[in-house]
């Protein structure tokens, strides 16, 4: 369709941009990291959300070029903030199953990091559970290699996929993200609270860092702090926002 034809031109026409959503340390409320979320500034339609164009890109071959642009832009921005003395431990970037299936993720990530002189440790990649079940050896091997070089791997939307506890033990991951569906119902649904507690206990037992997403209210934040979650992300702390706005919130050393 017309939208797909436009999307083919979007990278070359510089219509994509990244927004950044802060994540704060549960312990002291300071911003530690951010999730980069892609946006498309369409010349006629305005801002097109990724929920609309990422699925289109995944159905075509476009997800690879868009994914490469996202990684490059994230590293460019990280390097810029570093030069400006703005402190951010790491930046998290979403990766689609198709990007891993291509078999070229390691080289794409390496190229972006080297081009901008960003340390491997500053990049986190978010993957979904569905990517890692079934015949996922090729995907797992690439994630393991990236991880060995220092990239952090986060399991997104944890609890909504199908990975068994047995596979979880063997997955090459560092971070578990509690899905926002559980967070949303924390105050109203005893089972959501029980599941969140179980996920966070599991994360601690396995030595994984934990992040909860979709936090909109103080009561949810308090509950997650009490359950031992490491980092909090949600509208309560900030919506995804342009770089110029996000950087105002970063501590600056000179
Ligand atoms: O940013 P929301 O604000 O609307 O994002 C909607 C969905 O799009 C989320 O599931 C998110 O993971 C996905 N998404 C956002 N940015 C990216 C990206 O750079 N790459 C991929 N693969 N998915 C993204
Ligand atoms: O996990 P995934 O990459 O699918 O999630 C990112 C999505 O979650 C983005 O669309 C982002 O805008 C959205 N999001 C972030 N914080 C909140 C929040 O507090 N509430 C809701 N409803 N959505 C959020
Ligand atoms: Na994500
Ligand atoms: Mn998620």
Pocket of ligand 1 (CB under 6 A): 37-38, 49-51, 54, 70, 94, 96, 240
The sign one gets for the Cα dihedral 145, 127, 230, 195 is negative
pTM for this prediction: 0.96
Nearest-CA residue for atom 12 of ligand 1: 94
Q: Are the CB atoms for 100 and 131 separated by under 8 Å?
A: yes
Buried b (16+ CB within 10 A) or exposed e, 188-205: eeeebbebbbebbebbbe
Q: What is the token pair recorded at 149?
A: 């070089």
Ligand 1, atom nearest to 99 Cα: 22
pLDDT in tens, 187-196: 889 999 999 9
Residue to mutate, 180, 220, 221, ligand 2, most ligand atoms under 8 Å from C-beta: 180
Beta-bridge partner residues of 48: 40
Is residue 214 in contact with ligand 2, taking CB distance under 6 Å?
Answer: yes
CA of 92 to the centre of ligand 3 (A): 8
- CA 70, distance to chain mean position in Å, is 12
**62 vs 78: CA distance, rounded Å:** 24
- Predicted local confidence at residue 136, as pLDDT: 75
Q: Which ligand lies nearest the alpha carbon of 238? A: 2
ipTM over 0.95: yes
**159 vs 33: CA distance, rounded Å:** 22
Q: Are the CB atoms for 27 and 233 separated by under 8 Å?
A: no
Is residue 37 in contact with ligand 2, taking CB distance under 6 Å?
Answer: yes
Q: What is the token pair recorded at 143?
A: 């994630």
- Predicted local confidence at residue 234, as pLDDT: 98
Domain positions in the chain are: 2-249
Which among 73, 38, 64 has a CA at the least distance from the CA of 53? 38
Residues with CB under 5 A from ligand 3 (ion): 94, 126, 156
**197 vs 187: CA distance, rounded Å:** 13
Query: For domain 2-249, is the CATH number 1.10.645.10?
Result: no
CA of 234 to the centre of ligand 2 (A): 7
Positions in the chain short of pLDDT 50: none
Nearest-CA residue for atom 6 of ligand 1: 51
- Predicted local confidence at residue 97, as pLDDT: 87
CA of 231 to the centre of ligand 4 (A): 13
pLDDT in tens, 152-200: 999 998 888 766 777 777 788 999 999 999 999 998 899 999 999 999 9
- Predicted local confidence at residue 32, as pLDDT: 93
């Amino acid at each position: 369709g017309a939208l797909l034809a436009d999307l083919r031109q979007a990278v070359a026409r510089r219509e994509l941009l990244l927004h950044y959503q802060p994540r704060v340390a549960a312990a002291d409320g300071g911003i530690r990291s951010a999730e980069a979320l892609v946006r498309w500034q369409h010349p006629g339609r305005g801002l097109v959300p990724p929920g609309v164009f990422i699925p289109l890109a995944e159905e075509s071959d476009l997800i690879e070029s868009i994914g490469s642009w996202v990684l490059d832009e994230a590293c460019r921005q990280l390097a810029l903030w570093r030069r400006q003395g703005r402190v951010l431990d790491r930046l998290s970037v979403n990766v689609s199953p198709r990007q891993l299936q291509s078999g070229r993720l390691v080289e794409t990530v390496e190229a972006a990091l080297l081009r901008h002189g960003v340390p491997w440790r500053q990049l986190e990649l978010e993957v979904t559970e569905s990517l890692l079940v079934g015949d996922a050896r090729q995907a797992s091997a690439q994630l393991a290699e990236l991880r060995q070089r220092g990239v952090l791997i986060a399991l997104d939307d944890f609890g909504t996929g199908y990975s068994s506890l047995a596979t979880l033990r063997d997955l090459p991951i560092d971070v578990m993200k509690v899905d926002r569906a559980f967070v949303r119902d924390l105050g109203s649904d005893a089972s959501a609270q029980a599941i969140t507690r179980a996920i966070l206990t599991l994360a601690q037992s396995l030595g994984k860092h934990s992040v909860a997403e979709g936090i909109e209210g103080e009561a949810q934040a308090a509950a997650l702090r009490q359950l031992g979650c490491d980092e909090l992300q949600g509208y309560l702390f900030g919506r995804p926002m342009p770089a110029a706005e996000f950087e105002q919130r970063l501590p600056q050393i000179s």
